[in-house]
Amino acid sequence: MLRIVLRRLLWAVPLVLGVSLVVFLLASLVPGDPARTILGESATPDAVAALRTELGLDRPWYEQYLSWLGGLAHGDLGTSVFTGEPVTTALNSRLAVTLALVLTTVVVCSVVGVAVGVVGALRGGITARVLDVVSLAGIALPSFWVALVLVSVFAVKLRWFPATGYVSPDQSLGGWASSLVLPVVSLGLLGVAVIAKQTRDAALTVLESDHVAVLRANGLPETRLVLGHVLRNASIPVVSAIGVVFVGSLDATVFVENVFVLPGLGSRATQATVDHDVSVILGIGVYFTLVVVLVNLLVDVAYGLLDPKVRTA
C-alpha cells in the first residue's frame, strides 16, 4: 500500500511538468498581447515594447517557461501581469470556493447516485428502465446548458435561489447553502447518472452471485444483505466512479462558475485566458493537477481499505 502511495506522489512531479508545459504552449498560441491590453489601444508602439521588456514578454517562450519553472521549484507561481499580485495569493481564496462547490457536488452525487443505483438493482422491471432513461438524460445534458435553464427557471422566474454570486459560510451558512444549490445541481446531474449506473451494474453482479443466493436462502434480511454484503462487494467500482465524477466536476467548474459568477478558479481561468495572463493560467493548471493527483491517491487508498489484495500489493 505504501508503495502505491509513493508511486502516485512521484508521478505528480512529471505530471505537473507536462501539464504546465502544455498549458504554457497553448496559452502562448492565444491571440493577444498583455502589454497592449494593459496600456490600451491608444498606447504608442514604443510604450508597448517597453512594457513587454519590463514584463519579460520579449524573451523566447522557452526562456519564459524555464524562468517560471525555476520559481515553481521554490514554491513561487509568479505574479499576475495585470494586478501585480502573487499568483498564489490570488488563487488561494478562489481555490476554497471551487473546492466547496466540487466537494458538495461529489457528496450529493455519491449519496443520491448510490441510492438510485441500489434501488434500480433491487427493483428491476419498469423502475430500472425509468432510472436508465433518467441516467442517460443526465449524461447527455451538458452542465452549462443545465445551468442556464436552472437560472432562468429557479432564479429569474421563481426567485427561489440567487442567480449569481457566492456567500461565504463565515458570513451566513444559510446564504452559503442557497448560493450553491443551483451550481451543485448543474454539476451534479452528470455525476449522479454516472455513479447510479456504476452502482447498479456492480450491485447486479453481486446480487446474481452464488454467495448472495446462499445468504438469501438462509433468511438474511434484505437490508442487512444490501448494506453488509452487496454494497461492500460493489464498492470498488463505485469508488472509482466517484473519483471520475470529482475530476469531471472540477473541469466543469470553468463553465458553471462563469454562469453563476462564482469567484472560483474556473471563472478566474476564463478571465486569465482573455487577458492572456500566462502566470495565472499556469498557476491554475498546477492547482488543478495537484487536486487530481490527490483525488487519485485517495481513490487508491480507498481501494486498499476495501480490498486486502490491493493493500498487500
Query: Does 31 reside within a domain?
Result: yes
| 143 or 249: which leads in pLDDT | 249
Query: Does 227 reside within a domain?
Result: yes
Residue 31: CB partners within 8 Å, gap ≥ 6?
none
CA dihedral 301, 303, 308, 311 (to 10 degrees): -40
Query: Does 245 reside within a domain?
Result: yes
DSSP, collapsed to helix, strand or coil, labels residue 218 as: coil
- Helix-, strand-, coil-residue percentages of the chain, each rounded to 5: 80, 0, 20
Q: Does pLDDT of 68 surpass 80?
A: yes
Query: Does 78 reside within a domain?
Result: no
**Whether residue 56 sits in one domain with residue 99:** no
Average pLDDT over residues 219-225: 73
Per cent of the chain over pLDDT 90 is: 19
Q: Does pLDDT of 144 surpass 60?
A: yes
**Whether residue 136 sits in one domain with residue 104:** yes
Average pLDDT over residues 279-298: 89
**Whether residue 52 sits in one domain with residue 114:** no
Q: Does pLDDT of 70 surpass 70?
A: yes
- At residue 112, the pLDDT reads 92
Q: What is the longest distance spanned by two Cα atoms in the chain?
A: 87
**Whether residue 140 sits in one domain with residue 241:** yes
- At residue 136, the pLDDT reads 76
Query: Does 47 reside within a domain?
Result: yes
Write down how long the chain is.
313
**Whether residue 136 sits in one domain with residue 65:** no
- At residue 184, the pLDDT reads 93
- At residue 107, the pLDDT reads 95
**Whether residue 241 sits in one domain with residue 101:** yes
Q: Does pLDDT of 284 surpass 60?
A: yes
**Whether residue 60 sits in one domain with residue 179:** no
For 71, other C-beta atoms within 10 Å of its C-beta total: 15
**Whether residue 290 sits in one domain with residue 203:** yes
Q: pLDDT-derived band of residue 312, with 50, 70 and 90 as boundaries?
A: low
Calculate the alpha carbon distances from 66 to 60, 129, 258, 291 in Å: 10, 55, 31, 23
User: Cell 438493482 identifies what position?
Assistant: 121
Q: Which amino acid is at 248?
A: G
Mean pLDDT of the chain: 84
Considering its fold, how many domains does the chain have in total? 2
Query: Does 79 reside within a domain?
Result: no
Q: pLDDT-derived band of residue 29, with 50, 70 and 90 as boundaries?
A: confident
Q: The CATH number of the domain where 296 resides is what?
A: 1.10.3720.10
Among 45, 73, 101, where does a domain finish? 73
Q: pLDDT-derived band of residue 39, with 50, 70 and 90 as boundaries?
A: confident
Contacts 24+ apart (CB under 8 A), 14-21: 15/289, 15/293, 16/286, 16/289, 16/290, 17/69, 19/285, 19/286, 19/288, 19/289, 20/65, 20/68, 20/69, 20/72, 20/282, 20/285, 20/286, 20/289, 21/65
Q: pLDDT-derived band of residue 274, with 50, 70 and 90 as boundaries?
A: confident
Domain, as residue range, for 289: 93-311
Alpha-carbon gap, residue 93 to 265, rounded angstroms: 9
**Whether residue 269 sits in one domain with residue 148:** yes
Tell me the pLDDT tens digit for each residue of 152-205: 999 888 888 888 888 888 888 888 999 999 999 999 888 898 998 888 888 888
- At residue 42, the pLDDT reads 75
Q: How far is CA 207 from the centre of its chain?
A: 32
Residue 56: CB partners within 8 Å, gap ≥ 6?
64, 67
Query: Does 60 reside within a domain?
Result: yes
Tell me the pLDDT tens digit for each residue of 91-135: 998 999 999 999 999 999 999 998 888 888 877 677 667 777 777
**Whether residue 101 sits in one domain with residue 20:** no
| 229 or 195: which leads in pLDDT | 195
**Whether residue 39 sits in one domain with residue 129:** no
- At residue 310, the pLDDT reads 58
Query: Does 80 reside within a domain?
Result: no
**Whether residue 188 sits in one domain with residue 43:** no
- At residue 142, the pLDDT reads 82
